[in-house]
Amino acid sequence: MTGTWIAVLATAAGCYAFKLTGLTVPQRVLASSRMRRFAELVPVALLAALSAVQTLTSGHAFDLDPARLAGMAAAIVALVLRAPFLVVIVAAVGTAAALRAFGI
């Protein structure tokens, strides 16, 4: 049990140090075009990675679930059609739910 608390406290300290480091970075570094571009692209990459992991895995195993794959495909089609974000989510969830309701 103490090992868990040590991990929690170490993670909290690391997060605090990371936040403090961000606050102490000089303004000229934050204003650079390279840093702005990095800040724009990192959330997109993280969201894409999270989406891929949630779609293609179950627990610690690779899992090609047809309902999840179809939901992701529906979301991609909605994004290509430039649908509002809420419509993208409803399309993905609705597709996956309909396929699960039909036993797929």
Closest CA to 75 of 90, 64, 66, 88: 88
Q: For the chain of 104 residues, list the mean pLDDT of each consecutive stretch of 10.
A: 86 93 85 88 92 89 91 96 96 96 90
Q: Which pLDDT score, from 0 to 100, does residue 3 have?
A: 81
**Number of residues that this document lists for the chain:** 104
pTM of this prediction exceeds 0.85? no
